């Protein structure tokens, strides 16, 4: 029976990076992955293909609104060409990851695995392998809630949307999470008639209602029929006639029909085939593996990271968790847990929605005092000339010191702008520290200074000189 020091089950972002670190620390390491294609969710069916398509749709959207900028343009989509470009880009990423997996630095075992004991897994070939340590990084899969008719219906998942080479006539999107909103907007922009149905009172329910409302308005303005605060009753499918859904909305039964149905009602940990019970690994009712601050499970020699462990499904967090687990397994001293107070999140709708650090909701629940200030994009020179008027920048800071606690940006290029806070938050900087820095005019980034100045003025006696207020060009707008 083969034996290793460290085995990563799953070769995605968590498993691959855990194995890379484990090898560097001198552990005899293997990755077990039986997927048809190697590379993990992010590269193959997540981040990279979705953002490739979303950017194509954004360029199309800008071309179609060229008249606003005094341009005569005619934006039309060629889905076969869009699809081919996506395949080329993703193929390059996947090829690079495959070379890294097959580099020989660790063993790559192309098989599925299930636990038969705390230190032993059985492969789908029947072979058994032992290891002193395991890292479970098997990711997540699409979940199918118990809605009458849904499980039996031939619905699409995000995998199907990301593999389209044609424009569907009409699509019903079930769900209001990140994937649902990003791909609903994509479908609408390429020319599908889109109806989106969300259960909670707002889409993007893990974000603030103020930010969610901005994205909701943008989706509706572009033509998506968006329903929130609904209760899904039934899904019906008839060959040749598409899908019909029934749901409660504002006390009435509403019916909608479409050619296709996109199930975007969430994902769940992909752990069903692992037989966690045989290893003594505890999980929550939803299948999420329970871990401690070092990513250890209820079996200290077995670690879990990434989507199957949570608490969030974000690639850079999965990488941090996987690397931490490998270092802990190798006995590296003076480690620090993943710092979720610096959590960074981006939703790639248009406008984008990005957050970092603590949210208002979290601070209120913790009864932590804070100051907040916000400034709208529709009052900012650069965003106005770009016709990017949706959204705001919001800053949260400690009331006495002005130390940054968190930030929220919903607006043009929010996913890029939010990184203006990454370094300062990690360094425990204050609003005064950020105001020492130069901010070029006119830029989108300059909008960040306005809520910073408001908080600095509120605190009053500043420990450093604060940049003076910019003069308004005319009431309600600053240049």
Q: Where do the H-state alpha helices sit in 249-378?
A: 276-279, 315-329, 360-365
Q: Which residues contact 294 (CB under 8 A, 6 or more apart)?
A: 303, 324, 325, 328, 335, 337
Token pair 């996987």 in the structure block, residue: 322
Domain-by-domain residue ranges, the chain?
Answer: 2-141+268-338, 158-265, 341-478
Q: Which CATH architecture has domain 2-141+268-338?
A: 3-Layer(bba) Sandwich (3.50)
pLDDT value of position 35: 85
Instruction: Note the residue count of the chain.
Output: 479
pLDDT value of position 41: 78
User: 299: which 2 tokens?
Assistant: 């079996």
User: 444: which 2 tokens?
Assistant: 């989108």
Q: Where do the H-state alpha helices sit in 311-447?
A: 315-329, 360-365, 381-385, 414-417, 422-426, 431-436
pLDDT value of position 463: 44
Rounded Cα distance, 37 and 158, in Å: 17
Residue 64 near residue 73, CB atoms below 8 Å: yes
Rounded Cα distance, 226 and 232, in Å: 14
Q: 158-265: which CATH topology?
A: FAD/NAD(P)-binding domain (3.50.50)
Asked whether the bond before 442 is cis by omega within 30 degrees of 0, the reply is yes
Q: What are phi and psi of 324, to 5 degrees?
A: -60, -45
pLDDT value of position 37: 79
Could you read off the pLDDT tens digit of each residue along the chain, which spans 479 residues?
899 999 999 999 999 999 999 999 999 999 999 988 787 778 887 899 999 999 999 999 999 999 999 999 888 999 999 999 999 999 998 888 888 888 889 999 999 999 999 999 999 999 999 999 999 999 999 999 999 999 999 999 999 999 999 999 999 999 999 999 999 999 999 999 999 999 999 999 999 999 999 999 999 999 999 999 999 999 999 988 899 999 999 999 999 999 999 999 989 999 999 999 999 999 999 999 999 999 999 999 999 999 999 999 999 999 999 999 999 999 999 999 999 999 999 999 999 999 999 999 999 999 999 999 999 999 999 999 999 999 999 999 999 999 999 999 999 999 999 999 999 999 999 999 999 999 999 999 999 999 999 999 999 854 443 334 443 443 344 44
What is the reported pTM?
A: 0.93
Instruction: Answer whether 2-141+268-338 and 341-478 agree in fold.
Output: no
Residue 15 near residue 135, CB atoms below 8 Å: yes
Q: Which residues contact 270 (CB under 8 A, 6 or more apart)?
A: 138, 139, 140, 141, 307, 308
pLDDT value of position 476: 41
Classify domain 341-478 by CATH number.
Answer: 3.30.390.30
């Amino acid at each position: 029976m083969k034996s290793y020091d460290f085995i990563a089950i799953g070769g995605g972002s968590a498993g691959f990076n855990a194995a890379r670190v484990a090898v560097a620390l001198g552990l005899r390491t293997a990755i077990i992955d039986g997927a048809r294609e190697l590379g993990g969710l992010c590269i193959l069916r997540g981040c990279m293909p979705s953002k490739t398509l979303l950017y194509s749709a954004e360029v199309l959207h800008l071309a179609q609104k060229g008249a606003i900028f005094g341009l005569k343009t005619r934006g039309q989509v060629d889905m076969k060409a869009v699809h081919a470009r996506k395949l080329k880009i993703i193929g390059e990423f996947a090829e690079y990851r495959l070379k890294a997996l097959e580099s020989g630095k660790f063993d790559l075992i192309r098989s599925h695995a299930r636990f038969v004991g705390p230190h032993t897994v059985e492969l789908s070939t029947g072979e058994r392998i032992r290891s002193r340590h395991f890292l479970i990084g098997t990711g997540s899969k699409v979940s199918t809630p118990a809605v009458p008719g849904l499980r039996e219906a031939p619905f699409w998942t995000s995998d199907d949307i990301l593999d389209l080479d044609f424009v569907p006539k009409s699509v019903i999107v079930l769900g209001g999470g990140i994937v649902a909103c990003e791909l609903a907007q994509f479908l609408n922009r390429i020319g599908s008639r889109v109806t989106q149905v969300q259960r909670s009172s707002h889409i993007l329910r893990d974000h603030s209602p103020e930010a969610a409302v901005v994205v909701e308005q943008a989706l509706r303005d572009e033509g998506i029929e968006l329903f929130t605060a609904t209760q899904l009753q039934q899904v019906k499918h008839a060959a040749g006639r598409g899908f019909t859904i029934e749901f409660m909305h504002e006390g009435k039964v509403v019916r909608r029909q479409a050619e296709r149905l996109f199930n975007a009602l969430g994902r769940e940990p992909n752990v069903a085939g692992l037989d966690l019970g045989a290893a003594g690994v505890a999980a929550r009712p939803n299948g999420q593996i329970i871990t401690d601050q070092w990513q250890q499970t209820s079996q200290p020699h077995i670690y879990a990271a990434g989507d199957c462990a949570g608490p969030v499904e974000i690639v850079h967090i999965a990488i941090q968790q996987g690397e931490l687990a490998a270092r802990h397994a190798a006995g590296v001293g003076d480690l620090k847990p993943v710092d979720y107070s610096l959590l960074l999140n981006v939703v790639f709708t248009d406008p984008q929605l990005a957050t970092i650090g603590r949210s208002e909701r979290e601070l209120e629940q913790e009864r932590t005092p804070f100051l907040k200030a916000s400034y709208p994009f529709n009052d900012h020179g650069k965003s106005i000339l770009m016709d990017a008027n949706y959204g705001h920048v919001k800053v949260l800071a400690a009331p006495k010191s002005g130390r940054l606690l968190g930030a929220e940006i919903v607006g043009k290029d929010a996913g890029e702008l939010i990184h203006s806070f990454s370094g300062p938050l990690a360094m425990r900087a204050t609003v005064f520290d950020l105001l020492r820095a130069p901010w070029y005019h006119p830029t989108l980034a300059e909008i960040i200074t306005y809520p910073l100045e408001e908080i600095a003025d509120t605190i009053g006696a500043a420990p450093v000189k604060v940049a003076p207020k910019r003069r308004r060009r005319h009431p309600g707008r600053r240049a």
